[in-house]
Amino acid sequence: MIEPDLPRRQRRKEARPAELAAAALSLFIEKGFAATRLDEVAARAGVSKGTLYLYFDSKEALFRAVIEEGLVPLFEQMEAKLDTLKDDPERLLKEILLDWWTHVGATELGGISKLIISEARNFPEVAAYHNEAVIQRWMSLLGKVIQTGVEQGVFRALDVETLRQLVFFPLLMLSVWKHSIAGCAAACSAAANPISPTYFDTYFDMIFRGLLVAPPELSA
């Protein structure tokens, strides 16, 4: 809680790094990494460019802040579920996939995947950081969840590396679609909203019929 006698300018200054990261994320998604300028980020956040440089000396530093502010806390929350739901790997896998979609794929953060795909060759250091901080951590988490299910005899003993790709890539591509082609096809409601009301029911039905040792019986 902020102390009531804390100067207003100090309170505002303490809030600025998160605000700058949020402004940077919006601009990265709207314009791309290469086209975004630091003065635009400062203007979007409502501060001077000089103030921005007090916290970040480059767009690369801002990108790191976007990841640290938006994704690292979420990964920590999902990793904590490895302990709390370890005895129910089916529920665990379903929850972390829904968490990813709800807090990343369906939000502005989901646009980062499209950004990396389109600009990785021009900004290899940014892509390398994203791979280490995001992709490797997320895929490691998925692998641990699937391995837990295999060890408990709940999931079939298939190759974990292959399984985590097959499980996650449909959501990843749905997010890329949402932040690219769907946005260009806003005139067509079906294309602008690529997610069917039955998407996740069907998605999990297909996953668990193939993954579970004892899948639910097919309807007559």
Question: Architecture of domain 8-66 in CATH?
Answer: Orthogonal Bundle (1.10)
In this predicted structure, the answer to whether residue 5 has a pLDDT above a threshold of 70 is no
> How do the domains of the chain map onto residue ranges?
8-66, 72-107+137-211
81 within 8 A of 96, measured Cβ to Cβ: yes
Q: Is the pLDDT of residue 27 over 90?
A: yes
| Widest Cα–Cα separation across the chain | 69
4, pLDDT greater than 50 = no
Please state the pTM of the whole predicted model: 0.85
